[in-house]
Amino acid sequence: MGRSALVLGTLFVVVAIGAYFLLPTAPIKNYPSAGTDVIAFGDSLVYGQGASEGKSFVPLLSQAIGRPIINLGVPGDTTAQGLARINELDKYKPQVVLLLLGGNDYLKRVPQEETFANLAKIIADIQSRGAVVILLGVRGGLLNDHFDEEFQKLADTYHTAYVPDVLDGLLGEKQYMSDQVHPNDAGYAIIAARIAPVLKKLLQ
Question: Which CATH number do you get for residue 76?
Answer: 3.40.50.1110
More confident residue, 11 or 48: 48
Does the pLDDT value for residue 182 go beyond 60? yes
Asked if residue 192 has pLDDT above 50, the reply is yes
Res. 30 pLDDT band, cuts 50 70 90: very high
**pTM to 2 decimals?**
0.87
Q: How confident is the model at residue 93 (pLDDT cuts 50, 70, 90)?
A: very high
What's the rounded Cα separation, in Å, for the pair 105 and 12?
Answer: 28
Mean pLDDT of the 150-174 span: 97
Dihedral angle of Cα 149, 153, 154, 156, to the nearest 10 degrees: 130
Question: Is 170 in contact with 176 (CB distance < 8 Å)?
Answer: yes
pLDDT at 3: 52
Closest CA to 89 of 77, 80, 99, 103: 99
Give every CB contact of residue 106 below 8 A, 6+ residues apart in sequence.
115, 138, 139, 140, 141, 147
Name the domain count of the chain. 1
What domain range is 197 assigned to? 3-24+33-202
Alpha helix positions (H), the chain: 3-22, 44-47, 57-65, 79-84, 103-107, 112-128, 148-158, 185-202
